[in-house]
Amino acid sequence: MTDDKKWHADTIQVRSGLNRSENNETSEALFMTSGFVYDSAEQAAASFEGTTDNFIYSRYGNPTMQMAEQRLAAIEGAEACRVCSTGMAAIFSSMACQLQAGDRVVASQALFGACHAILTKILPRWGIQTELIDGTDILQWQATLATPAKLVFLESPSNPVLQLVDIAAVAELAHKAGAKLIVDNVFATPVLQSPLALGADIVTYSTTKHLDGQGRLLGGAVLGSKAFIEDIFQPFYRQTGASMSAFNAWMLVKSMETLRLRVEAMSATAGQLADKLASHPAIESISYPGHASHPQFELAQKQMKGFGSLIAFQVNGGRQAAFKTLNSLKLIDISNNLGDAKSLACHPASTTHSNLSPEDRAALSITEGHIRLSVGLEHTSDLWQDLSQALDLATSD
């Protein structure tokens, strides 16, 4: 295989992981096979002993999955990667592979709804102690990580209101507490933020979002050191079945070829829309890490290379005005998905974060007037025309 260490990011996302079959196809091949055959019974036995590196069964690994894994690892700058059936399979497996009863996990409270449920409902059932804190407050991290922990988990920027956590500072505190740091990097993407370079140990993705970027597949990924992926993650993954289908891995490997182009274009449009939204009279506040009004604007400049395609904004008039805004959109679709080429908007309090109690939503600053907008690849003018007419209508009476 080629030496992708010396390549620039653009070359890596098109070429890394490419593993041509004996047919020398141009485009990455789809190996739609559950199993693999052996030359001899001895080779089969050696494969199960782990002394060979041939493929055994697609639950453990497959050539198309491996191309996606090597490409994503090269993009991220990680030693190793495994692709999973969903983002949640990736996140849950990255925790479950290394936790046991009696362990302590500390996490930022601003999390994707299903991650919040894993930490508050599922892990505690198995005797794992979990503590959620305000991730924007470094003093809370210091106080909580004064006691040893096994894992620290955070999301930055967070879903849905784009709060940031100082990844480098938390990595240092986590390591002093004896913990590994897992960062859910979905909102930033590998293009705009590199948690491993900031000190994190493990990075997780929902590849359903920008990595596919075309709203087609469900998928996830776990990245980290070779030692973590091969010795700790792989044995758990192989036995518990979180793997990605070869078909989804094939779509993913092709999508990654255009990842930077898509993410940079979407982020540029999001930056322009954030400015326009901030000065619209129907808007109470906006939350965009690249906008000067963001309380952690300085941290965003320090740890991100760009500010992403998601904007949260609060319309005056609570749920009624937020619903009316969504219902008045003609181009932007109402959907809880994100990172798609098509711009999508949703009302987090009644959808993605409706499983949280009103108190938990308040602690996360998610209000009834909040709309989360995932900016796609449409032209900025068309998107602004749609947003401004919807906001005008929603607040006209």
Binding site for ligand PLP (CB under 6 A): 86-88, 112, 114-115, 155, 159, 184, 186-187, 206, 208-209, 218, 220
Q: Least distance (Å) from ligand PLP to the CB of residue 159?
A: 5
Query: Residue 120 or 389: which CB sits closer to ligand PLP?
Result: 120
Task: Give the nearer residue to ligand PLP in terms of CB position, either 66 or 248.
Answer: 248
* Residue 110, φ and ψ in degrees, nearest 5: -85, 90
Q: Which residue is nearest to ligand PLP (CB)?
A: 87
Name the minimum Å distance from CB 237 to ligand PLP. Answer: 15
The residue (of 68 and 115) whose beta carbon lies closer to ligand PLP is: 115
The CA distance from 245 to 111, in Å, is: 26
Least gap, CB of 11 to ligand PLP (angstroms): 28
CB of 183 to ligand PLP, least distance (A): 10
What residues contact 233, with CB distance under 8 A and at least 6 apart? 82, 93, 94, 97, 222, 224
Least Cβ distance, residue 88 to ligand PLP (angstroms) = 4
Cβ count within 10 A of residue 5: 9
Residue 279 C-beta: closest distance to ligand PLP, Å: 28
Please state, in angstroms and rounded to a whole number, the distance separating the CA atoms of residues 5 and 115.
Answer: 33
Q: Give CA–CA dist 321/368, Å, rounded.
A: 9
How far apart (Å, rounded) are the C-alpha atoms in residues 289 and 164?
Answer: 8
Based on CB atoms, which residue is closest to ligand PLP, 87 or 317? 87
Closest distance of CB 26 from ligand PLP, Å: 30
Q: How many residues does the chain have?
A: 397
Tokens describing residue 82: 């495994």
**How many CB atoms within 10 Å of residue 258?**
15
Q: Which is nearer to ligand PLP, 209 or 294 (CB)?
A: 209
**Interacting residues of 57 by C-beta distance below 8 A, sequence separation 6+:** 34, 35, 36
Would you say 145 or 186 has its CB closer to ligand PLP? 186
Q: Which is nearer to ligand PLP, 120 or 316 (CB)?
A: 120
List Cα–Cα distances, 284 to 12, 78, 157, 366, 383, in angstroms: 42, 41, 20, 13, 20
